[in-house]
Structure 1
């Protein structure tokens, strides 16, 4: 009969631990996410949606902007998964490359802007927790992660655009 008591204690203990984790997120990261989202939407309203749209259309004309500025803005302003809608501003033949560059940046953006891709937040928080326990600063890795993400998304955008051109020419 001891196993019934052991099972009961550990079964409810699992839910207690889950509740503690939920409350730590609710009192820690959730207020930050709400403030960041509020700031982003206020900034868009302040600048004006028409101006933001015009700037994005301008950026879509140039390769370097199309695979750096556009994905960054789309993720920061619209968050995942709405960020994909910025693809409407690029030509049809560039959509696979834009999508590829955008997707490759969804994880690195989480380090500095956790609201942008909540699905990746738990991965980053796990990495950050390990770094903190090892005695490293998470701010340094967050900035490096973000900067490397920009380089990777730019390279992936260019490479995917070339692959798309090649495959389209073969058809």
Structure 2
């Protein structure tokens, strides 16, 4: 449904405007490795999310892929549609947390806090991974004489 909604908005607004907005967001590292991966993972889900990288310059594509592929697990507690094939990861943690809540070991609703913090920490991690992968890609390309 979200993918259909995304494509409907793209048709209404215009494909060139959407591409321009994505290219604009791709110019700044902060948005390139946080906003674009989050939007792509939320609307297009795994594995379709990686196609957002087509809006970026060639030198940024490996780092975007690294950021996007790293963000398909952290938001599962909030948005299970993102990567339904691997929901069992969050589901296993959820069962344990709910049991601990039921027994009074941890506060009620703690599983919600864990899901939110998991998503927030995931954002920080993808930003750092994106920047680091971009630097590593530049170093490797320079060493091998490849122009990106």
* TM bucket normalised to smaller: 0.7 to 0.9
Structure 1 residues 161 and 119 mapped into 2: Cα distance closer, same or farther (>3 Å)?
Answer: same
Higher relative contact order (CA 8 A, sep 6+): 2
Mapped to 1, the partners of 2:47 and 2:14 lie a distance apart of 19
Structure 1 residues 162 and 41 mapped into 2: Cα distance closer, same or farther (>3 Å)?
Answer: same
Question: Structure 2 matches for 1:137-148, cutoff 5 A?
Answer: 137-148=110-121
Question: Structure 2 matches for 1:59-70, cutoff 5 A?
Answer: 59-70=25-36
Match of 1:164 in 2: 137
Unaligned 5+ segments in structure 1 are 1-37
Deviations 1:38-69 (A, max 9, x none): 35643653564634433212111111110000
2:60 matched to 1:97?
no
Q: Is the Cα contact below 8 Å between 2:62 and 2:134 reproduced in 1? A: yes
Structure 1 residues 124 and 49 mapped into 2: Cα distance closer, same or farther (>3 Å)?
Answer: farther
Match of 2:100 in 1: 134
State the number of aligned residues: 134
Q: Is the Cα contact below 8 Å between 1:44 and 1:52 reproduced in 2? A: no
Q: Is the Cα contact below 8 Å between 2:41 and 2:49 reproduced in 1? A: yes
Match of 1:15 in 2: none
Structure 1 residues 70 and 77 mapped into 2: Cα distance closer, same or farther (>3 Å)?
Answer: same
Structure 1 residues 39 and 98 mapped into 2: Cα distance closer, same or farther (>3 Å)?
Answer: closer
2:18 matched to 1:45?
no
Mapped to 2, the partners of 1:53 and 1:109 lie a distance apart of 25
Bigger helix share: 1
Pairwise CA RMSD: 1.7
Structure 1 residues 52 and 133 mapped into 2: Cα distance closer, same or farther (>3 Å)?
Answer: farther
Match of 1:79 in 2: 45
Q: Which has the larger radius of gyration?
A: 1
Unaligned 5+ segments in structure 2 are none
TM-score by length of 1: 0.72
TM-score by length of 2: 0.83
